Amino acid sequence: MAKTEEYIRKPEWLKIKLNTNESYKGLKKMMREKNLHTVCEEAKCPNIHECWAERKTATFMILGDICTRGCRFCAVKTGLPNELDWQEPERVAESVEQMGLKHVVITAVARDDLKDGGAAVFAETIRAVRKRNPFCTIEVLPADMMGIYENLEILMEARPNILNHNIETVRSLTPRVRARATYDRSLQLLQRSKELHPDIPTKSSLMIGLGETKDEIIETMDDLRAHDVDIMTIGQYLQPTKKHLKVKKYYTPEEFAELKDIAMTKGFSHCESGPLVRSSYHADEQVNEAQVLEEANKYKNA
């Protein structure tokens, strides 16, 4: 009889302080009234109370709440998506205006059922947000567009301030962790977006604790830098349900601090690294480094 895999007890530093103040309740109410989805809720992000209640920020998830992929780390629902909602971009823009955001992150479920992977709705959302909120910076976090770069071009023509696409895990674990995605396709998308618009910073996120080695983490950093990625985030993988992959290791805050130091020596303009860090964590702060980088690139290319 095969030995069952034991669960590792969650350490003290991963305990989360809940805060359901009026700001949190107001944001939740507004999202429901406008029939909008957030990755904060759908992916069971551990920082939702900090972001919604204290920082008053949120990551909008467009193109519905049903993903065509079934990645083994992700809590977002999988199945047959609904029809496109072309009113969604305007509702997102209205919400950004009502919240008074200075920086907004827009992500989406993977829509492999669509010829353009949802690129047109992404672009329309960027334009709608910018029209209503001209001083708000916009970060987008798309799937890999199935490797069809014409789709990426549609999105990038709307000129987001940051293009974010997550590598998610190290090369050796990618087939087990991610569905229909490949390590090299993600690297190529990040490289291609920089080739299309060299002045738009790129960003990627790595979750650890799935069984990778330290050398593999460092190799991933090198691969991202080799493909001109500017910003990196590193966070602890947390198992969202018993159906998802188990945690192999909980990294300590000290180990995350060391990884941040290593990343910065590799040449990233910014690295956010910590147990509760997610791709959009403190994205409003990261945009400052991105803007500095953008100005430096303009000067260099002048």
pLDDT digits (tens, 9 = 90+) for 100-135: 778 888 999 899 999 999 999 999 999 999 999 998
How many CB atoms are located within 10 Å of the residue 9 CB?
A: 8
Confidence of residue 285 (pLDDT cuts 50, 70, 90): low
Structural element, H or E, at residue 13: none
Residues 6+ apart with CB under 8 A from 83: none
Beta pairing partners, 77: 66
Distance CA 9, CA 7 (A): 6
Distance CA 204, CA 271 (A): 10
Pairing, β 162-164 against β 231-236: unpaired
DSSP string of 40-68, one letter each residue: HHHTT-TTHHIIIIII---EEEES-SEES
Beta pairing partners, 236: 208
CATH of 19-297, one of 3.40.50.300, 3.30.70.1560, 3.30.870.10, 3.20.20.70: 3.20.20.70
Q: How much is the pTM?
A: 0.84
pLDDT digits (tens, 9 = 90+) for 203-240: 999 999 999 999 999 999 999 999 999 999 999 999 88
pLDDT of amino acid 280: 63
Distance CA 121, CA 111 (A): 11
- Percentage of the chain beyond pLDDT 90 is 56
